[in-house]
Amino acid sequence: MTLPTDPPTDPPADLPTDPIDWFRNTAPYINAHRGTTVVVGLRHGATEHDNFINVVHDLALMHSLGVQLVVVHEHEPLDAAVMTSDAFASSIAHALDQRTQIERLFSMGLPNSPLHNARLRVVSGNFITARPVGVIDGVDQLGRGLVRHIDVAGIRHALEGSAICLVTSLGHSPAGELFTLDAIEVMRVLSRGLGADKLIVMSDFDGIEDADGQLFRQLTVDAARNALVTSAQQQQQVLTLACDVCDSGVPRSHLISFQEDGGLLRELYTHDGIGTLISPDEYEQLRAAEGRDLAGILELIRPLQQQGVLAERSNEDIERLLDHFVVITKDSRVVACAALIVNSADNIAEIASVATHPDYRDSGHGERLVERLVNMAKESKVRRAYVRTTQTGHWFQGLGFIAGSEAELPESERQKAKAARNSKTLIRAL
């Protein structure tokens, strides 16, 4: 097992090594996930794995970044066919032992570990009311139970008190009996009941693979249900869970491995994540920019401004113009943006700051954005749209813009030109 005092391993080669770059790249994700409720399901085997201490550190870090965490752990499953009092007692003992172990790890505050001075509060308790499974195929299921009720208010209260909620897959009946529950069912009911923003299930596999063994990075619920047919049996249970919770309103489910050091952080705070993401809708969204997108827009256009590809605009200018931007987001991260500045008085609109993140180019994002802006300009009843560009004149020509000159623009727009850029002006009649 890796001890908390072990030196950190090198970051994977594809992560930025410059801490400033890393911090800037991560900031939009931190903003997007702050204040969200995330249910993390630890499949059987997670707590015994050597990497578990790193999982605890990652959870602690997510918590300190403002994510409201509900952690469900799965203990040794009971064999439904051979149900004995001894098996039940050992299952309960295993569950409680796991809970104690997790609480202990969250309580460590060793120097040189991410938990140093973190002062984490972990709350576990009688959050689940259960009922007996009863007799199935002639076998009395004894202490196997089903979830009857979740104390959502109690969990919310703990989360609002800045605690991490730890849920053991055990439940109590109103008569005081103890039941061991199916952890997958607990994850399902909790995610739904809490109206969680995410469910992350950590299993002993990387995610969902296609028939050739290639990992699906992202799937819509419909595609995920199709993938059920080809996916390995061990993946089917969590894939069904992921689809079910998405169907019941949870926007995202992530399936990742508990064996990967930093897996949680890579899944939530990097571009492409590490496992399989399942979402009800198309993964990418084109929409009007909102306040939470500002950091992502700045991150996207700042390097292009520094290279002289886009006209210089201060952060304050961009913030002021935020309502004019449309963005394409991928799991809350801005991957492309563009702005439309309508000048109704002079019957013209400027298209500006069109940018697609280098990792997402050549997939039609730029064209979709410009088409959206052109349609918005038409709705504003202006007769022309124009753009100034130094390097993408041909690209705009492909989108119906025609090379023009500043002289064709009204005086109010000419004043906005930056002479030193020597940019070309292209105009499209609407």
The smaller minimum CB distance to ligand COA, of residues 157 and 394, is found at 394
Comparison of 57 and 388: residue with beta carbon closer to ligand COA: 388
For residue 38, what is the enclosing H or E element? Answer: strand 37-42
Q: Given candidates 138, 362, 419, 429, which one binds ligand COA under the rule CB under 6 A? A: 362
Closest CA to 72 of 212, 215, 168, 175: 168
DSSP-derived letter for residue 7 is P
d(CA 205, CA 368): 36
Query: Do the bridges between strand 163-168 and strand 68-73 make them parallel or antiparallel, or are there none, so unpaired?
Result: parallel
- Applying CB under 6 A, which of residues 126, 364, 383, 414 lies at the interface with ligand COA? 364
Distance (Å, rounded) from C-alpha 273 to C-alpha 61?
17
Distance, in Å, from the CA atom of 288 to the CA atom of 359, rounded to the nearest integer, reads 22
CB closer to ligand COA out of 73 and 365: 365
Contact 363, 327 (CB under 8 A): no
Cα–Cα distance measured from residue 243 to residue 237, given in angstroms and rounded to the nearest whole number? 10
Q: Which amino acid is it at 392? A: T
Site string for ligand COA, 367-406 (x = CB under 6 A): x-------------------x-x-xx-xx-----------
- Look-up of token digits 């105009």: 427
Q: Which stretch binds ligand COA (CB under 6 A): 152-160, 189-197, 363-371, 411-419?
A: 363-371
**Min dist. Cβ of residue 355 to ligand COA (A):** 4
Stretch of 56-64, 248-256, 262-270, 348-356 contacting ligand COA, by CB under 6 A: 348-356
Q: Does 298 bind ligand COA (CB under 6 A)?
A: no
Q: Which of 245, 274, 354, 373 binds ligand COA (CB under 6 A)?
A: 354
Site string for ligand COA, 314-343 (x = CB under 6 A): ----------------------x-------
Binding status of residue 365 toward ligand COA by CB under 6 A: yes
Contact residue for ligand COA among 309, 322, 341, 417 (CB under 6 A): 309
Residue 234 one-letter amino acid: Q
Nearest approach in angstroms of CB 311 to ligand COA is: 8
Query: Between 224 and 334, whose beta carbon lies closer to ligand COA?
Result: 334
Shortest reach from residue 330's CB to ligand COA, in Å: 13
Q: How far is the CB of 339 from ligand COA (least distance, A)?
A: 9
| Binds ligand COA by CB under 6 A, chosen from 27, 304, 341, 430 | 304
**75-79 long-range contacts, CB within 8 A, separation 24+:** 75/44, 75/168, 75/169, 75/180, 75/183, 76/44, 77/44, 77/182, 78/143, 78/144, 78/180
Shortest distance (Å) from residue 190 CB to ligand COA: 39
Q: Does residue 356 interact with ligand COA by CB under 6 A?
A: yes
Q: How far is the CB of 214 from ligand COA (least distance, A)?
A: 24
Of 361, 378, 383, 414, the one binding ligand COA (CB under 6 A) is 361
For ligand COA, the closer of residues 152 and 309 by Cβ is: 309
418 binds ligand COA (CB under 6 A): no
For 354, the enclosing helix (H) or strand (E) is strand 348-356
Does 296 bind ligand COA (CB under 6 A)? Our answer is no
Of the pair 277, 354, the CB lying nearest ligand COA is at: 354
Full DSSP string of 248-292: TT-SEEEEEESSSTTHHHHHHHSSS-SSEEEESS-SEEEEE--GG
User: How far out from the chain centre does Cα 423 lie?
Assistant: 38
Q: How far is the CB of 332 from ligand COA (least distance, A)?
A: 19
* DSSP state, residue 215: B
Exposed/middle/buried for 250, CB within 10 Å: 0-12, 13-18, 19+? Answer: buried
The long-range contacts involving 213-217, CB below 8 angstroms and separated by at least 24 positions, are 215/275, 215/276, 216/276, 217/272, 217/273, 217/276, 217/277
Q: What does the binding site for ligand COA look like in residue numbers (CB under 6 A)? A: 304, 309-310, 336, 352, 354-356, 361-367, 387, 389, 391-392, 394-395
